[in-house]
Amino acid sequence: MAAPETSGAVRESYAIRTVDLVKRYRTTTALDGLTMTVGHGEVFGFLGPNGAGKTTAVKLLLGLTRPTAGEAWVLGRPMGDRIARRRVGYLPELFRYQDWLTARELLALHCDLAGVPRAEQPAQITDTLELVGLARRARDRIGTFSKGMQQRIGLAVSLVGRPDLVFLDEPTSALDPVGRHDVREIIRTLRTRGTTVFLNSHLLTEVEQVCDRVAIIDAGRVIAMGTMDELRGRRDVVRLRLGGVGPGALETLRRYGDLEIESGSYTVTGLMPARVPALVTELVGLGCEIFAVEPRSQTLEDRFLELLGGSNGAAENRPPHPA
C-alpha cells in the first residue's frame, strides 16, 4: 500500500493512520491487527487495560521499535520517518531529566535537539514554561522539583519546537486534582492551536472530559472507536426511588426500558429524558410514591467495562507484560 501524498500542495488525510499493525515478541502477540485513524487537530484518547498493547502501539508510531507486520503513517509519512519525528512531541510515562539543570537550561537543551533556531528559543521557552505553570521556577534546578512539577517539566519538554502531534502517556499520573485540571486546560489550549494530541491514559474521567474521539483496545485490537456519544450509545439511564410499587407499576416501568430492581431503587435503561415526565405521571396514577428521580447518561467507564466484559476471550490471551 502506498503512503499518502505528502507534497506541500496536499495536506495529509490523517495525523495518524494504522492498517493491520502487528507486533509479536517471540510467543507473545502485543498488537494483533491494530487499525485506526486520528484526525488532524483532535484530542484522541487511547484506552485499554494493562497489557492491551497501548505502549507497544506508541513505540511503533514513534519508530522506537519495528512492527512484525502491517503499516502505519504519522503526519503522512511512514512511522519512524525522521522528517515526521521532528514534528512530534512525546511525554513518556516514565522519564528522568538531569537534576543539575534548571528548567530553562533543560528546555534550551531540547530546543537545540529539536532544531529550534537560537533566536527563537528564549521566547519559546518562556511561553512553554508559562503554559505548564512553571514560569516562576524557570531558574530552579530540576532536582528541587516535586513529583507533580517533574510531570509538568516533562510536559514542557514534549511541547518544545511546537510540534504538530503530541503523544502524552499518562500525563496526569503524578498530579493532584488541581494539577489534573491544569493539564486538561493545557490539552484544550493545544487543541485551539491545531495540535493533535494522542492521549494514552487509564483515567477514564480525564479522557471523557477532553477527548474528541476515543479508541478502546484489548488484546492488541481496537474493540470500539468513536466520539463519546457514539461509544456510550446515548443509552440514557434513570434511577427512581419509589414506594407502593405494585404489579401494574412494574409492568409500566418495563414498557419504558430495561428494568433493574435493587433495594427500593428502580433503574430504567434506554429511557429518553423527554419521556421521564410521562413515566412519572403514569406511576403517580398507579398509586406509587415518588421519592427521587435521577436521570443520567451511561458513562465512558460503564461502556468501557461493558466492552471488556464482552471480550473476555480476547482478554485471556492478553500479553503478560504491561504493553
pLDDT of residue 308: 74
For the chain, give the mean pLDDT: 85
- Give dist(CA 31, CA 53) in Å, integer: 6
- Residue 151 domain-assigned? yes
pLDDT for 86 beyond 70? yes
Q: Which three cell numbers stand for residue 50?
A: 494493562
Backbone φ and ψ for 191, nearest 5 degrees, come out as -60, -45
Both 199 and 185 in one domain: the answer is yes
Size (the chain), residues: 323
CATH number for the domain including 250?
A: 3.30.70.980
Helix extents (H) in 225-289: 228-232, 247-256, 276-285
Give the pLDDT confidence score for residue 96 in this predicted structure: 84
Neighbour-count burial of 100, counting CB atoms closer than 10 A to its CB (0-12 exposed, 13-18 middle, 19+ buried): exposed
pLDDT range class, residue 297, cuts 50, 70, 90: low
Q: Is residue 130 part of a domain?
A: yes
Residue at 122 is within a domain? yes
Residue 14's nearest CA partner among 186, 146, 196 is: 196
Whether 1 is covered by a domain: the verdict is: no
* Same domain flag for 66 and 181: yes
**What is the structure's pLDDT at 218?**
86
Q: Is the pLDDT of residue 268 over 80?
A: yes
Mean pLDDT across 64-79: 91
Q: What Cα–Cα distance (Å) separates residue 251 from each residue in 76, 84, 241, 266, 291? A: 57, 60, 16, 12, 19
Three-point CA angle 189, 213, 92, nearest 5°: 65
Residues 144 and 168 in one domain: yes
**Residue 213's domain is classified under what CATH number?**
3.40.50.300
Whether residue 93 is found in the same domain as residue 142: yes
Which has more pLDDT, 175 or 65?
65
Domain end, chosen from 185, 210, 230, is at 230
Shared-domain flag, residues 264 and 119:
no
Domain edge (last residue) among 205, 230, 255? 230
Residues in contact with 110: Cβ distance below 8 Å, sequence separation at least 6, in sequence order: 157, 160, 161
User: Mean pLDDT, to the nearest integer, of 107-124?
Assistant: 92
146 in the same domain as 251 = no
Could you tell me if residue 4 is inside a domain?
Answer: no
9 has a pLDDT exceeding 70: no
Domain assignment present for residue 275? The answer is yes
Q: Do 198 and 79 fall within a single domain? A: yes
User: Model confidence at 235, in pLDDT bands (50, 70, 90)?
Assistant: low
Domain assignment of residue 279, given as a range: 236-297
Radius of gyration over every alpha carbon of the chain, rounded to an integer in angstroms = 24
What pLDDT band is residue 305 in, cutting at 50, 70 and 90?
Answer: confident
Q: Which of 230, 249, 275 delimits the end of a domain? A: 230
Helix, strand, coil content of the chain in percent (nearest 5): 35, 30, 35
Nearest to 154, CA basis, from 178, 139, 135, 172: 172
* Same domain, yes or no: 252 and 215: no
- Total tally of structural domains belonging to the chain: 2
Q: What pLDDT sits at residue 233?
A: 66
**Alpha carbons 269 and 235: distance in angstroms, whole number:** 7
Q: Do residues 152 and 265 share a domain?
A: no
Q: Are residues 172 and 69 in the same domain?
A: yes
C-alpha grid cell, residue 79: 512511522
What type of residue is 226?
G
Which of 319 and 205 is assigned the larger pLDDT? 205
Instruction: Give the confidence band of 311 by pLDDT, cuts at 50, 70, 90.
Output: low
**223 and 120 in one domain?**
yes
Residues 99 and 173 in one domain: yes
Share of the chain above pLDDT 90, in %: 46
Residue 97: left if φ>0, alpha if ψ -120 to 50, beta else—which one?
A: beta
Say whether pLDDT at 195 is over 90.
yes
Band of the pLDDT at 1, cuts 50, 70, 90?
very low
Asked whether residue 5 is assigned to any structural domain, the reply reads no
Nearest 5 degrees, angle CA 224-CA 259-CA 308?
25
Write out the three cell numbers for 321: 507484560
Whether residue 268 is contained in a domain is answered as yes
